[in-house]
Amino acid sequence: MKFISKICVVFIALLSTSCSLFDNDDKAVATYLTVTPTEVTFSPSGNNFFTVDTDGDWVVTAISNKVSLSDKMGVKGTTTVTILDMTATSPQTIVIRTPSNPALVGKVTISPNDGSSGGDTPGDGNEVTLPTGKMLYYDNLDGSPSYTDWANNSTAWQNPTGEGAAGVTYNSAYAKLRNDNYGSANRYEGASGNSYIRIYEPSGSSKNFIEVENIATNGEKNFTLTFGAAFKASQCNLWVKGDDSSWQRLEYTASPAYNSWALAGASFSLSRSVEKLSFRFEPTDANASYGYNIDDLRLSLSSGGQSIVIGTKANYNWAEMPTKKNSKTEYLYHTHWSNSVKSNKRVRNFSYCYDVRRHSPIWIAHPQHAVYEEGGKTRPASDPWACDPYLTNEQSAIIYPIDGNICSLRTYFDANYSDFYQWGRGHMLASSYRGCGDRNNPAELNVQTFYSSNIAAQRSKSAVNEGADCAFQMLWGAAERKIQDSYICADTLYCISGAHFANENTKATDGNMYYLSSICKQCVVPTHFYKIVLRTKSGSTGKAIQECSASELKAVGFWFSNTDVDEQTGSATPSLSKAHMRSVAEIERLTGNEFSFFPEIPNEVKQTFNPAEWGF
């Protein structure tokens, strides 16, 4: 009995030690464990696998020293285990258990073979092999094996080689270099080692990715891209583009099971030669709790495959930019540029038309894409209100600190300035659309949204429901959330937020919490606000807006009164609905046809909209 007790103690210790090695914070008790198939005939010339499927961590607790496996422990999910070698001349049984629930037991019996037949191959049998053509680019990601920071924080991990590798650059968001025993070593043909990139699973509207850019092609048109992948092809989009053309989707073969390494690959042919090729890996499955592991990126010449049509390079106008139908001297225009928070790409932030007579923005136009949301939705710890660098205090509504005074927009109702209404300093382009990253050191991309050019006098607290948000604030906030959470796509969403003045009856005084005649002036309050958005229907055409047909596009507007009670529904507590939707053409008409919105799309897209396509 003492001997048996010691064996039990050793077994329990083994389970405890094994469990502590997992990169997993979920300690829930496993409820199932399935090993398939339960019998495998090993063949040195074939592919020899079995699959472990469980909702907990697992470990091999009994194995002969004459059998070698790719994995002896794993985490919840489905893991394909490769039988690397077998020297036994008789069947060997492997026992697998879950440490959190030792009562669950799985077994697989491996029998020797004379090598005349292959083993069990998972998935659809589309096994990828390394191409034999000339290699243009390869990176094993082992430039600095001990480096484990975010990939975009350093170049230490990068190790590109090959004829086309000299100008290669990398961009990423929420991708990290890992170096551990869960790496690709010995998991597939050409696997390099323990260092690999993990792209974390997307959350909300965020688009996590890694891009390999500017691989020189030497004028070739037929290629094969291979890479180590521990995910299924259905869980991660792969994109390719040539030179400055649009991104296009690449079909590829990857691992038959999530969290199991395999060599993945895509073969493709270009319609014309280009100087440089770039690739983008973009996860789509938010439930991939162990991220998306990638290693051994390789581009080689081959006989080609999927046809990729490379359009001619075109210098298109920005799709979001309105065109003016007549000129007004009181309207000023400018575009702000900045860098994205993590990938450090130079991007246009927003463009504006500002009315220096009314001291209010007329419209803000901006693109919306994952690259703009790398800083999350975070707002700075202290709001950085500021005068737009291209406006003066006389032109701009002073909603920012000046001469040591905290400033706002107020309407005064008596000669003694004792009765007033405080207007909201309303963002046209929401701060959350340009999350600041570090709240205590906000990114410029976000800081620019606090410029006076982007701020209008908006109704805030309700006089009908004292202390509550007014109808306008409810609707404006709901539209901002709907656009950010539901409409952003890989092709880019194009947005315009505008102010309209049906009359100039209401004015607000800028410059101070209290009336100081030396700096204050009257600013006209908009009667209405609107939002207009444009995108492709599929969201993933890889084409510029100007290259799309009318059937590939959709556009819609939302129209709101700047009031306590909603003009459309008569409600003081309205919900965003079809009642607030307008065609682009209708908003052009409502705003006096001063501007043409989305001027380069077919007119039929501007004339109509389908509420169902926008979630209504």
Q: What is the pLDDT of residues 146-180, one digit of tens each?
A: 667 788 888 888 999 999 999 999 998 889 888 88
* Dihedral sign for Cα atoms in the order 146, 148, 150, 153: negative
The two tokens of residue 546 are 């100007």
- What's the confidence (pLDDT) of residue 474? 96
- The radius of gyration computed from the CA coordinates of the chain, to the nearest angstrom, equals 30
Task: For residue 380, give both structure tokens.
Answer: 């700075």
**CA dihedral in degrees (347, 207, 450, 411; nearest 10)?**
130
pLDDT, tens digit, for every residue of 471-528? 999 999 999 999 999 999 989 999 999 999 999 999 999 987 666 677 889 999 999 9
pLDDT value, residue 515: 65
Cβ neighbors of 398 (< 8 A, separation 6 or more) are 387, 407, 452, 510, 511, 512, 519, 520, 521
Domain spans of the chain, in order of start: 2-111, 135-308, 323-609
**Nearest to residue 540, comparing CAs of 249, 230, 336, 208?**
249
In this structure, what DSSP letter does residue 526 have?
A: P
How far apart (Å, rounded) are the C-alpha atoms in residues 509 and 162? 64
The dihedrals phi and psi of 612, each to the nearest 5 degrees, come to -65, -30
- Map residue 31 onto helix, strand or coil: coil
Indicate the CATH number for domain 2-111: 2.60.40.10
Task: Residues 323-609: name the CATH superfamily.
Answer: Extracellular Endonuclease, subunit A (3.40.570.10)
Cα 37–chain centre separation: 38
Please report the pLDDT score of residue 205 as a whole number: 56
Q: What is the model's pLDDT at position 264?
A: 93
Q: In angstroms, rounded to a whole number, what is the distance separating the alpha carbons of residues 414 and 55? A: 69
Banded model confidence at residue 586, pLDDT cuts 50, 70, 90: very high
Q: Residue 167 has which token pair?
A: 């100008």
DSSP reduced 3-state for 16: helix
Strands across the sheet containing 522-524: 455-458, 420-427, 409-412, 507-509, 522-524
Residue 218 φ/ψ region, left for φ over 0, alpha for ψ in the -120 to 50 degree band, beta for the rest: left
Average model confidence (pLDDT) for the chain?
Answer: 85
What digits encode the pLDDT tens for the residues 20-54? Answer: 333 333 346 888 888 877 888 877 655 577 878 88
Res. 4 pLDDT band, cuts 50 70 90: very low
- Fold observed for domain 135-308: Jelly Rolls (2.60.120)
Taking CA 341 as the corner, what is the angle to CA 340 and CA 346, rounded to the nearest 5 degrees? 20
Q: pLDDT tens digits, residue range 413-435?
A: 655 556 678 899 999 999 999 99
